[in-house]
Chain A
Amino acid sequence: MTVLDMRDVRKVYNSGGDDIVALDHATVQVDHGEIVALLGPSGSGKTTLLSIAGGLLTATEGSVVVGGHDISGYNAKQLTDFRRNNVGFVFQAVNLVPFLTAEENLLVVDELGGGKGGKQSKGRARQLLDELGLGHRLKNLPAQLSGGERQRVAIGRALFNNPKLVLFDEPTSALDTKIGEQVMELIQAEMKARDTAAIIVTHDTRMTHYADRTVHIVDGRLDAGSVTA
């Protein structure tokens, strides 16, 4: 079943009176539990595609349906609610809240949704971190964690709300090869275990074998293999 369905999506920026096409009639679909690697050079539009898929940007043209929600016409507030409840993000620079412990960084998602970090939420955060091999690091601040551990906390945060789609923005770029591979193995295992769809933006071809499918993007255009049957 399709989790992400982007059809004929264009994104045009206006710069100094000139239109710059960042995404040109992109069509891509991602199914439940499917991991798609998005590969392309700098400036090819992969970040734009990821941002539109996650409701961070709105498309100039085309339709974007995520988990059954057609977000093409959503306003900023609707997109905020949508992101909070339906999408998980793992950013390139990790970006954990520096003054919160590993456990609290997961509970932030609950707090943003109006939760009070109650017993149930704490239980879920602990369970997630335990699954990610961080059961002994619950009370550590990000500064007390290694790069790989921080990235695993970020993965836990992305998974906290049981999203249908998780978007990874170059999740291994700040890690050495060995740790990067461990993180990719973890991502693969977690996505498959939860039957969660994922798009992983990367420029590292060594990491693409963890994905079910690789989509290439050049100058805002996706290659022909991006549409699944």
Chain B
Amino acid sequence: MSLPLKEMRRRPSRFIVATVVLSFLATLLMFLGGLLDGLYLGSTGAIRSQQGDAIVFSSSALDSFIRSRITADDRAAVESAPGVEEVGGIGFALLGATVPAQADLVDVAVAGYELPPRGVPEPPPDFEGIADTRLEDQGVRKGDTLLVGPASVPITVVGFVDDTSYLLQGSLWVNLTTWREVQNQNRPDAAVADDIVQALVVRGSGDLPASIDAATAGATHTLSLDDAVLAIPGVKQQRDTFNQIIYTTLFVVLAVVGLFFSLLTLERLGLYGVLKAIGASTKRLFSGVVLQAVFVAIVAFVIGSLLSIAAAAALPVEVPLQLTPARFLSTFIGLLVAAVLGSAISLRRVTKVDPASAIGTAS
């Protein structure tokens, strides 16, 4: 075992404060990241799961499904655009639904579709739907008939699909006829005709946004699937806000590591002088500091992971905390980078240690 690790094993108390502080910061990082992921995945699943290359909105809708209306003429123009191979209508209605044997309403996003999203079968018969597992978590079971909206439109759940929620509401995937029925009975002020959809999912190749919007003479505004995901209200703002907090927390990690190991280095100047005098290089001493910082970061990551997993298990299902392997990995990498950069603050001090300082005051 190397010198730095021996020191950590023999004098653990010297590293406890930094480990505890970093563990809390690691927990915070994973908690924030988990919330961001939960919000992002819960808001965007219905769009991310689309097996298409572009989403077409009406040009006046400002990329909002609720505001968008695509007419039959626009759809025909889209279908004739260069590069377009397949087109399917899509529409959402955000409503409350009554679940059998439950007093409280559950929020549902009734989603009418033609081209099946990932994991969703071909559109079911009228008034049947495939529910997102988020609804299952809220007590919906296969065979239940949900009464949707104030008009209590009945839709029977015939199956479940994972990761397709929309704006943190469990989706209920139905055919377009059922979706129109739900929309028109519950929102007569925003009724849609039989040939109208909110948006189109397009499969094809080439520069689809440009070719489609040109083909409809500007009646549409087409986004790539990724852009359509970010256009969902609040998603980009949430992501940017959480990322700012996460980056700030990482900076705090860096500052904590930097401060702690600076103080530790300051305490060790005499020892470093002796070790340099008997043949230790600056590189070896500094790599020892980095090794200790990385070790503290790894321990903090493990503790933080366990704490955040415990927190996720203890929180109610309504809290959109989702801990993903990618989040664990990115937090781990973030902690390691912050630990290395933080410990690098000590490099100058280690470099300046004069080996002659070990022997009297000659220097």
Output the least CB separation between B319 and chain A (Å). 45
Closest to B274 in A: A95
Closest to B284 in A: A112
Output the least CB separation between B12 and chain A (Å). 11
Most buried by A among B6, B278, B360: B278
How many angstroms between the C-alpha atoms of A98 and B10 in the bound complex? 10
State which of B279, B281, B356 has its C-beta within 8 Å of the C-beta of A51.
Answer: B356
A108 touching B3, Cβ below 8 Å:
yes
Residues of chain A within 8 A (CB-CB) of B281 are 77, 80
Output the least CB separation between B204 and chain A (Å). 62
How many angstroms between the C-alpha atoms of A54 and B278 in the bound complex? 10
Residues of chain A within 8 A (CB-CB) of B275 are 97, 108, 112
How many angstroms between the C-alpha atoms of A91 and B275 in the bound complex? 12
> Per-residue 0/1 for B243-271: is the Cβ within 8 Å of any A Cβ (1 yes, 0 no)?
00000000000000000000000000011
State which of A47, A83, A92, A167 has its C-beta within 8 Å of the C-beta of B279.
Answer: A83
Known: A111-B3, A112-B284. A169 touches B278 (CB 8 A): no
Residues of chain A within 8 A (CB-CB) of B362 are 22, 47-48, 50-51, 56-57
Residues of chain A within 8 A (CB-CB) of B271 are 95, 97-98
**Is B276 an interface residue, CB under 8 A from the partner?**
yes
Interface range on chain A: under 10, 10 to 19, 20 to 34, or 35 or more? 20 to 34
Output the least CB separation between A38 and chain B (Å). 12
How many angstroms between the C-alpha atoms of A112 and B361 in the bound complex? 24
Within 8 A of B (CB), among A70-85: 77, 80-81, 83-85
How many angstroms between the C-alpha atoms of A108 and B2 in the bound complex? 9
> Per-residue 0/1 for A79-107: is the Cβ within 8 Å of any B Cβ (1 yes, 0 no)?
01101110001011001011110001000
**Is B174 an interface residue, CB under 8 A from the partner?**
no
Residues of chain B within 8 A (CB-CB) of A98 are 271
State which of B6, B278, B358, B359 has its C-beta within 8 Å of the C-beta of A104.
Answer: B6
Closest to B357 in A: A56
Chain A interface (Cβ < 8 Å from any Cβ of B): 22, 47-48, 50-51, 54, 56-57, 77, 80-81, 83-85, 89, 91-92, 95, 97-100, 104, 108-109, 111-113, 157, 167, 169-170, 201
Q: Sample 20 A-B pairs with CB under 8 A, ordered by A number.
A: A51-B360, A51-B362, A54-B277, A56-B277, A56-B356, A80-B276, A80-B279, A83-B279, A83-B355, A84-B280, A85-B279, A91-B277, A91-B359, A92-B360, A95-B358, A97-B271, A99-B10, A100-B10, A112-B279, A113-B279
Chain B interface (Cβ < 8 Å from any Cβ of A): 2-3, 6-7, 10-11, 270-271, 274-281, 284, 355-356, 358-363
